[in-house]
Each structure stands twice: as C-alpha cells, then as structure tokens.
C-alpha cells in the first residue's frame, strides 16, 4: 500500500513551485555574471589592451613618411647582440638569486616551524610579509648607503680593498635576496606545516635517522612546493626593474633586459627602437608564461599535502 506525502508538491502547484525555483536560480546566475563584469572589464583594459598593443608593435615597423608594415625584424633584433646579452643576464641573475633564496628560505622556514616559541613564528611571518614587498628605490638607497662605494659598512670594514662591488652581478643578487628570501618563507611554510609528525615518528620507528627522513620522506613531499617556490622567485626577480635601475642604471655593469627596454624607450635615436623594446617585452612575456606553466601544475600537486 503506497502512501502520499502531503507536503510533496503535486500537480499544478508543484510545477509552479519548480518554475519559481528555476527562475530564482537563473536570476542569481545572471546577477553573478553582472557582478563579475567590472572585473572582466578592468582585466581587458589593464592587461588585454597593452598586450595587444605590445604584440602589434612587436611585428610592425615604421619608416618616415611611410605606413607601418609587418616584419619579424624586431624579434630578431631583440634576440641578438646586446639585447640577447641582457636577456641572458636577467635569466642568469634571476636563476642564481632564486636558487639561493630557495635554500636559505627553506632553512629559515624550517627553523620557524620547529620553534617552540609562537611569538617567533608570528614575528617572522609579519616581517616576511613586509620585506617581501619592500623593493624599488627605497631598497636600493638603503643598500647604497650601507654597502655602496661610500657606504657605512664599506668604509668601516674596508670592503673596497677586499674587492667588494655592490654594482655588479653579485651585489645586485645580494639586494634581490633581501626580498626573495622572505617571499620564499611565506611560500614554503604552509608546505612545512603539512609534514605530519606521524611521518617522522614512523620513520624513526623503522630505524631511519634525520638525514634519511629528509631524504626519503620530507624532501619528496616538499619537492613540488620547493620547485614552485623557485619558479615564483625567478619570476619575481626576472620582472624587477626599479631596484636595478636605481642601483646600476641603464648603463651599468649588469646587463638586464628590463634596463634595455627602458633605454630603448627613453632617449634612443633609432626610430624603430620602440618596436624593438616591445619585442623585448614580448620575449619577457613568453618566458613568464613558460614560468607560470611550470608553476601552476606544481602548485596544484603540492596543495594535496596542505590538507
């Protein structure tokens, strides 16, 4: 014998209620699309239009009194001579600084995670959040006043006689570490928190020492996060401009692609220099896209251990 739920919608009343629920769902979905339109418009204006203009300028050239025409000469020029040297210099500096910052950031983050003092953890995280965003001209001025040719420590410790030079690849890399190491600390601490105590206890119960635990348990788990952090630091150093410009300038001893772009856009007598600068910018975008293509899968893989 079947029973009928008196509360269940039946007949025309049930169909009308279903239509009302459907209309309500459609209205909410439409409202969500409308709410996201300002963000999409901002992205299109702030990123889409410059990207299109950059791509167009990279493949066109101008001649006095003649219309622009399509060419690949800008890209060829951006990958030859001094421009190629600057691009390789940026890649070299960014890779070295990111590698050192990854190792030092991991050690510092591990010391913070294993510390029994909660105040130390909060202090390091707060300081890292500030220092990771401290760059540009203020950072360059601080290092010039401290370790420049006439800097305070340079004079007191006689660093110039020892061969120290803040305005070369080593000096600029040291400045980059100032904001890359805190960024690595913020990046890797969640992954270190994901290392469960039971894993170390299980390794110890099976006779594994500290090195064996890190070699066979911790590092394999942390590898995606470490590689993702390295890629993130590389991208941050690769795109840095203000700090290097304030320290070494466009004619400094360290060839960087960002400084070459600035030199091509400002004061260059070549009429086509602007298009070459756009081509160099396109080279940077391609490298950044490749970096992000590596970073995003690693980030998704490492996120499995953060739950």
pLDDT at 2 over 60: no
Which among 103-107, 109-113, 125-129 has the top mean pLDDT? 103-107
pLDDT at 306 over 60: no
Cα–Cα–Cα angle for 135, 136, 141, rounded to 5 degrees: 95
Neighbours of 181 (CB within 10 A): 24
Residues whose CB falls within 8 Å of the CB of residue 113, separated by 6 or more in sequence, listed in order = 121, 189, 192, 193
Same domain for 237 and 210: yes
The reported pTM is 0.79
Whether 64 maps to a domain, the answer reads no
% of residues, the chain, pLDDT over 90 = 15
pLDDT at 3 over 60: no
Same domain for 158 and 119: yes
Q: Which pLDDT belongs to residue 101?
A: 95
Same domain for 28 and 129: no
Same domain for 253 and 219: yes
Whether 63 maps to a domain, the answer reads no
Mean pLDDT over 37-57 rounds to 85
Whether 7 maps to a domain, the answer reads no
Q: Specify the range with the lowest mean pLDDT, choosing from 86-90, 182-186, 199-203, 235-239.
A: 199-203
Handedness of CA 294, 296, 299, 304 (dihedral sign): negative
Whether 6 maps to a domain, the answer reads no
Q: Specify the range with the lowest mean pLDDT, choosing from 2-16, 28-42, 63-77, 102-116.
A: 2-16
Q: What span, in angstroms and rounded, lies between the C-alpha atoms of 296 and 23?
A: 38
* Confidence bin at 99 (pLDDT 50/70/90): very high
Q: Which pLDDT belongs to residue 96?
A: 94
Q: Specify the range with the lowest mean pLDDT, choosing from 20-29, 160-169, 298-307.
A: 298-307
pLDDT at 10 over 60: no
pLDDT at 300 over 80: no
Could you tell me the residue range of the domain that residue 173 belongs to?
73-305
What's the number of CA atoms in the CB half-sphere (13 Å) around residue 276? 24
Whether 2 maps to a domain, the answer reads no
Same domain for 128 and 91: yes
Q: Which pLDDT belongs to residue 113?
A: 86
Instruction: Find out whether 168 and 253 touch, Cβ atoms under 8 Å.
Output: yes
Q: What is the CATH number of the domain that holds 215?
A: 1.10.3720.10
- Tokens read off for 305: 């251990």
The 3-state secondary structure of the chain reads: CCCCCCCCCCHHHHHHHHHHHHHHHHHHHHHHHHHHHHHHHHHHHHHHHHHHHHHHHHCEEEECCEEEEECCHHHHHHCCHHHHHHHHHHHHHHHHHHHHHHHHHHHHHHHHHHCCCHHHHHHHHHHHHHHCCCCCHHHHHHHHHHHCCCCHHHHHHCCCCCCCCCCCHHHHHHHHHHHHHHHHHHHHHHHHHCCCHHHHHHHHHCCCCHHHHHHHHHHHHHHHHHHHHHHHHHHHHHHCCHHHHHHCCCCCCCCCHHHHHHHHHCCCCCCCHHHHHHHHHHHHHHHHHHHHHHHHHHHHHHHHHCC
Whether 280 maps to a domain, the answer reads yes
Same domain for 130 and 28: no
Same domain for 217 and 168: yes
pLDDT at 287 over 80: yes
Same domain for 51 and 20: yes
Same domain for 292 and 193: yes
**Which tens digit of pLDDT belongs to each residue from 214-248?**
777 778 888 888 888 898 899 899 988 888 888 88
Whether 67 maps to a domain, the answer reads no
Same domain for 136 and 17: no
- Number of domain units in the chain: 2
| Neighbouring-strand partners of residue 69 | 61
Tell me the average pLDDT of the chain. Answer: 81
Q: What span, in angstroms and rounded, lies between the C-alpha atoms of 304 and 221?
A: 10
Whether 66 maps to a domain, the answer reads no
Same domain for 106 and 51: no
Which among 62-71, 103-112, 113-122, 163-172 has the top mean pLDDT? 103-112
Same domain for 158 and 94: yes
Q: Which pLDDT belongs to residue 66?
A: 65
pLDDT at 177 over 80: yes
Mean pLDDT over 245-263 rounds to 80
């Amino acid at each position: 014998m079947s029973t009928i739920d008196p509360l269940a919608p039946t007949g025309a009343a049930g169909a009308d209620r279903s239509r009302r629920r459907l209309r309500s769902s459609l209205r909410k979905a439409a409202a969500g699309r409308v709410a996201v339109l300002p963000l999409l418009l901002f992205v299109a204006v702030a990123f889409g239009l410059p990207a299109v203009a950059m791509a167009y300028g990279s493949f066109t050239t101008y001649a006095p009194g003649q219309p622009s025409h399509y060419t690949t000469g800008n890209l060829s020029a951006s990958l030859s001579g001094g421009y190629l040297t600057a691009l390789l210099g940026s890649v070299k500096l960014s890779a070295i600084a990111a590698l050192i910052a990854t190792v030092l950031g991991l050690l510092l983050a591990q010391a913070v995670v294993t510390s029994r003092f909660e105040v130390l953890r909060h202090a390091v995280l707060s300081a890292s959040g500030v220092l990771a965003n401290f760059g540009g001209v203020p950072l360059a001025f601080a290092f010039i006043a401290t370790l420049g040719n006439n800097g305070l420590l340079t004079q007191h410790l006689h660093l110039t006689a020892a061969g120290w030079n803040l305005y070369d690849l080593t000096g600029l890399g040291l400045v980059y570490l100032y904001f890359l190491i805190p960024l690595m600390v913020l990046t890797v601490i969640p992954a270190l928190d994901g290392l469960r105590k039971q894993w170390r206890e299980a390794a110890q119960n099976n006779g594994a020492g500290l090195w064996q635990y890190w070699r066979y348990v911790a590092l394999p788990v942390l590898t995606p996060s470490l590689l993702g952090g390295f890629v993130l630091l590389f991208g941050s150093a690769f795109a840095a401009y203000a700090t290097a410009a304030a320290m070494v300038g466009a004619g400094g001893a360290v060839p960087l692609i960002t400084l070459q772009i600035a030199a091509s856009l400002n004061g260059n007598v070549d009429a086509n220099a602007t298009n070459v600068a756009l081509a160099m910018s396109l080279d940077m975008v391609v490298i950044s896209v490749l970096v992000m293509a590596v970073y995003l899968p690693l980030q998704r893989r490492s996120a499995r251990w953060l739950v």
